[in-house]
Amino acid sequence: MRPYGKAGRIRHCLNQVAVFIGFLLTVQAWAQPAASIAAAQAVSSANAATSPQAQAVADYSFLELEPASQSVLIKEAEHGTTLYAQQASQPDYAPLAHRMLTAVVALEYLDSKAMLTISKTAAQYIEDRTVFTTGGRYDLFYVLHALILEDSQAAAVALAEEISGSEAEFVQLLNSHARSLGMSGTQFTNVTGVYDEAQYTTAEDLYLLYKYAMSVSSFKAIYNQRDRTYYYSLNINHYFVNHFSYAWNYADQVQGGMISKQGQAYSAVYTVRNSAQAYTYTVFLSGSHVTSSLSQNSVLITDIIAINRQLQSHYEKSILAYKGDSFDREYQLAGKTVALEFQDTVAYVHPVGDDFRQQTELVMNESPPSFPILTDETLGYVWFMLDDGSAIQVPVASSTEIHSRNQFLDWLLVIIDSNKTLIGLILIVFTALLVLLSSRFRQRRLLRQLRQHR
C-alpha cells in the first residue's frame, strides 16, 4: 500500500526541498560565527606550536671589529638576530644587571605612589647629597630615576629594603627572578653591584633581562631619557643626567642607554635606530678600561663609533616573506591539497650579499582546524632558521576557503556565497511558489472533504 496519494507525494517532495534549503541557509548563517571560533582556536593552537630549536652562536661576526670591550653582543631588536657576539656567553662582572633587574622588580612590587625612606644602611652609599639625604622620603619614580640614570647604589638599597625588608632577602628575590627569565649564567650576592667574585652575569643574560625590562613601559620611559629635571613632593628638584648621555652623539640615532661603573669595570647597554636601513639594534658592552691605554669613556666611545660604521657597511635589511606569496610546499587539508600563503610581510637584517638562511621548517598548529576554514585563518607558521642560530616565524593560511569535508556541500556553499543576491531572489520566488502550491492543495482537500459529507 502506498503511504501517500498523488497530492501527498508532491507535498512530501516539496517539504523535503524546503528542509534542504533551510539547511543550506542555516549552514550559511553558521559560517560567519564559526569562522570567529576557528580563528580563536587557531590563536590557541599557534601558542602551542613550538619553535624549532635554534642553536646559539658563541663568538659570531660578519664585522671587522676589534673591540676594546671584553664582552660585546649586538642584537637586531625586532627578531633578536645576532649581528655580533664576542664572549657573549662568558660569565663576567657586569653590574648593569643589578640596576636593571632591581628597577623592574620594584615596578612589579611597589605601588606607583609609594614613598621610600633612605635608611642608615642605604645612606652609606650616598655620594651626591643633592639627590638623597639620610632619613629623607622620596617617591618611587624619583628613586628609580636615580637608579637607572645615575647608577645610585643608595637607591638600589632603598628599593631592596622597601620590598624585602633587607638587602639579603632582596638578593634572593633577584636570583629567583633571574631564573624565571632564563638567565642561567647569572648570580647575585648584593644589590649595589659592588664587586664580588661569587656574582656574575653574561651578555646573553643581559639581553634576556633587557627584553623583559623594555616590555615594562615605566622602565622604558626612563631608559630613553638623556636627562630630566625631576620635581617631587618636598619641592626639591634635582637635574638628573643619564651617565651614558656623553656617548649618545657617537652613534646614528641613540634611543636610550644605561651604563654602570664600579671601579675600573663597566657594563653598558644602548639602543640605536639605523636611519639608513630602518632597523633598530641593541648593543651590550662589558669590560675594564685597565686592559686598554684609553680612559673608560674613550674605550666606550671608540667601540660605539666602530660598531656604528661596521653595521652600516656590512648589514642590510631585506624582505624575508611577502604577504600573499605562496610557501614552496603544499599541505593536505580536509582531503584537499592546498597552497599555503604568508599572512604577513616580514623583513629581516642580514649581511650584505648573504641571504643568511640555513633552512625553513613548516610547523602547523597542533589542534586540527574547525570548519569552515577561511583564507585569513592562521593554520601554522613557517620558521626561517638563520646563520646566527636565530629563527623568525611567519604565519601561513590556506589559499582557498574550505567550508566542510563534504565536497558537494562545499561546492554548493561556494555558489551561495558568491551569488548571494541571485540566490536570495531564487529562494524568495521558490518560497512564494511553495506557499501558493500549499494553499491550492489545502483548498482541494477542503473541497474533497465537503463533497464526501454531502
| Cell numbers 614552496: residue | 328
Contact indicator for 129, 217 with CB cutoff of 8 Å = no
Amino acid (one-letter) located at 276:
A
- 3-class secondary structure for the chain? CCCCCHHHHHHHHHHHHHHHHHHHHHHHHHHHHHHHHHHHHHHHHHHHCCCCCCCCCCCEECCCCCCCCCEEEEEECCCCCEEEEECCCCCECCCHHHHHHHHHHHHHHCCCCCEEECCHHHHCCCCCCCCCCCCCEEEHHHHHHHHHHHCCHHHHHHHHHHHHCCHHHHHHHHHHHHHHCCCCCCECCCCCCCCCCCCEECHHHHHHHHHHHHCCHHHHHHHCCCEEEEECCCCCEEEEECCCHHHHHHCCCEEEEEEEEECCEEEEEEEEEECCCCEEEEEEEEEEHHHCCCCHHHHHHHHHHHHHHHHHHHEEEEEEECCCCEEEEEEEECCEEEEEEECCCEEEEEECCCCCEEEEEEEECCCCCCCCECCCCCCEEEEEEECCCCEEEEEEEECCCECCCCHHHHHHHHHHHHCHHHHHHHHHHHHHHHHHHHHHHHHHHHHHHHHHHC
Q: 445 CB contacts (<8 Å, ≥6 apart)?
A: 7
Rounded CA separation 62/314 (Å) = 7
Residue spans of the domains in the chain: they are 60-317
Cell numbers describing residue 148 = 637607572
The reported pLDDT for the residue numbered 46 is 40
The reported pLDDT for the residue numbered 233 is 62
Amino acid (one-letter) located at 356:
F
Rounded CA separation 177/182 (Å) = 9
Q: From its phi and psi, is residue 227 left (phi > 0), alpha (psi between -120 and 50) or beta?
A: beta
The reported pLDDT for the residue numbered 408 is 59
pLDDT tens digits for range 93-105:
878 999 999 999 9
Cell numbers describing residue 389 = 642560530
Cell numbers describing residue 11 = 507535498
In 3D, which of 210, 165, 212 has the Cα closest to residue 191?
A: 165
167 alpha-carbon distance from chain centroid: 33
In 3D, which of 158, 96, 103 has the Cα closest to residue 133?
A: 158
Q: 211 CB contacts (<8 Å, ≥6 apart)?
A: 80
275 alpha-carbon distance from chain centroid: 23
pTM metric for this prediction:
0.76
Segment-wise mean pLDDT, segments of 10 residues, the chain, 454 residues: 48 51 47 38 42 66 90 95 94 90 97 94 80 89 94 95 96 97 95 90 96 97 92 75 91 92 88 92 86 71 93 94 93 82 96 93 85 86 94 93 63 62 74 80 77 71
The reported pLDDT for the residue numbered 288 is 78
CATH of domain 60-317: 3.40.710.10
